[in-house]
Amino acid sequence: MEKDGRKKRGICLELFMTFGKIGLFTFGGGYAMIPLIQREAGENKRWISEGELLDVVAIAESTPGPIAINAATFVGGKVAGVGGAACATLGMVLPSFLIILGVSYLLQAFRSVRAVRYAFWGIRAGVLALILKALWTLFRQCKKRWFEIAVMVLAFAAVALGRVSAIPVILACGLLGVAHSRTGREKR
Amino acid sequence: MIYLELFWTFFRIGLFTFGGGYAMLPLIQSEVLAHGWMSLEDIVNFVAVSESTPGPFAVNIATYVGRITAGVGGAACATLGVVLPSFAVILIVAKFYGKFRNSRAVEGAMSGLRPAVVGLIAAALLSIGREVFAVPPGASWAQAGVSAGIFIAIAVLAFQKKHPVLLIGLSAVAGVAAGYALGL
């Protein structure tokens, strides 16, 4: 029992360190993280096979939250249960957490500096372009039958014109999707 | 009870974000603005900060909002809140993911959620665009002109798949140069 406990602690530390490394070296998050997880958790540690990683990506797409957290929880859970999942997820989160804590003090200290104000003024226009690019990518990936187009327009109008907040819109659209897939099946 | 408020708000954001990254923006906008924790301008600034630092946007923004509203403890509460839904859902789903992946209900829900996210980001783009191109009273139109120039140039580069960090750097340089040139 004693030995078992020590072994489990060792694995937890290893999960924490590995996902800490992944969290520290991934900029932007999301899909940029997949190759790194593949190399560290797959090829180096052999915690997860390539097929399983593809499964995780597929699952992450239809579960809430960032793909990085989903993947860390999945791998940690597979290797060492709930405790392992917690260690891996904590490892993934901690680098960003600490870095942003530091950055938050810097931002507050320098935000009134003239050059910084100008820089962020320019950056806001740049970010708008990045959002446009993200929108285009998601639009292209989405199926565009009448149902999807209708949901897009509805969600847009509800928020942009109706001032509805995002969560009720997301809930309603998810339910619409379920209802629509049911009626579609009956017709078939 | 600011800790609880931060936890609960970011828990909801984490629970209802599908796709991560920019898909989170509409939720951040409606939830964080409603609480008055950040201005729209600050949210847009922070998108750039998050793109240029490691880690997922969700964790970054939760940590930041928590920190500026209630210190390090607030940061911990908000981050825990945003992570917990994914953590719990994956632990449950991992047990029977074959069934989950082939589930008609999940597939159906996703067929509604994917286009919804597109519509929501379009709405976010519109409101952020209004903010970026707004001409404050007494300011010259040249300001909006510079913003439009940066927006178009960066959009062209973004569609050529240039790295976001590079693009943010370029817009910062352009902003500083134009700012001093116009003497804002």
Same domain, B7 and B92: yes
More confident residue, A76 or A26: A76
- ipTM for the whole complex: 0.93
What token pair was written down for B102?
């082939």
Is A99 a residue whose pLDDT tops 90?
Answer: yes
- The residue segments making up the domain with residue B78 are 1-96
**Does any domain span residue B126?**
no
Is B137 in the same domain as B77?
no
Q: How many domains does chain B have?
A: 2
CB contact under 8 A, B171 and A148: no
Please give the Cα distance from B39 to A22 (Å, whole number). Answer: 31
Q: Is the pLDDT of residue A2 over 60?
A: no
pLDDT at A26: 81
Contacts of A58 in chain B (CB under 8 A): 101
Give the C-alpha separation, B175 to B181, whole Å: 10
Q: What percent of chain B has pLDDT over 70?
A: 99
Please compute the mean of the pLDDT values over residues A9-30 and round it to a whole number: 88
Is A179 touching B (CB cutoff 8 A)?
yes
Helix (H, G, I), strand (E, B) or coil at B139: coil
CB proximity A135 to B under 8 Å: yes
The CA-atom distances, in angstroms, between A126 and each of A45, A50, A101, B51, B144 are 39, 36, 24, 12, 13
Provide the pLDDT for residue A188: 43
Q: Using the beta-carbon criterion (under 8 Å), do B63 and A100 form an inter-chain contact? A: yes
User: pLDDT tens across B91-115, in order?
Assistant: 998 887 777 777 888 889 999 999 9
pLDDT digits (tens, 9 = 90+) for A117-153: 999 999 999 999 999 999 999 999 899 999 999 999 9
Last residue of a domain, one of B96, B120, B147: B96
Phi, psi of A9, rounded to the nearest 5 degrees: -65, -35
Taking the C-alpha atoms of residue B56 and residue A33, their distance in angstroms, rounded to an integer, is 9
Q: Is the pLDDT of residue B140 over 80?
A: no
> Would you place residue B80 in the very low, low, confident or very high pLDDT band (cuts 50, 70, 90)?
very high
The string of pLDDT tens digits covering residues A27-61 is 766 777 888 888 999 999 999 998 888 888 888 88
Residue A3: partners with Cβ closer than 8 Å, 6 or more residues away = none
A118 lies in some domain: no
Coarse DSSP helix, strand, coil percentages of chain A, rounded to the nearest 5 percent: 85, 0, 15
How many distinct structural domains can be found in chain A? 1
Quick one: pLDDT at residue B84? 97
| Domain coverage including residue A23 | 1-110
Is residue B161 located within the same domain as residue B72?
A: no
What is the model's pLDDT at position A29?
Answer: 62
pLDDT band at A62 (very low <50, low <70, confident <90, very high): confident
Query: Which residue in chain B is spatially nearest to A102 when comparing CA positions?
Result: B64
Q: Is residue B147 part of a domain?
A: yes
Residues B83 and A96 sit within 8 Å (Cβ to Cβ): no
Report the pLDDT value the prediction gives residue B136, as an integer from 0 to 100. 75
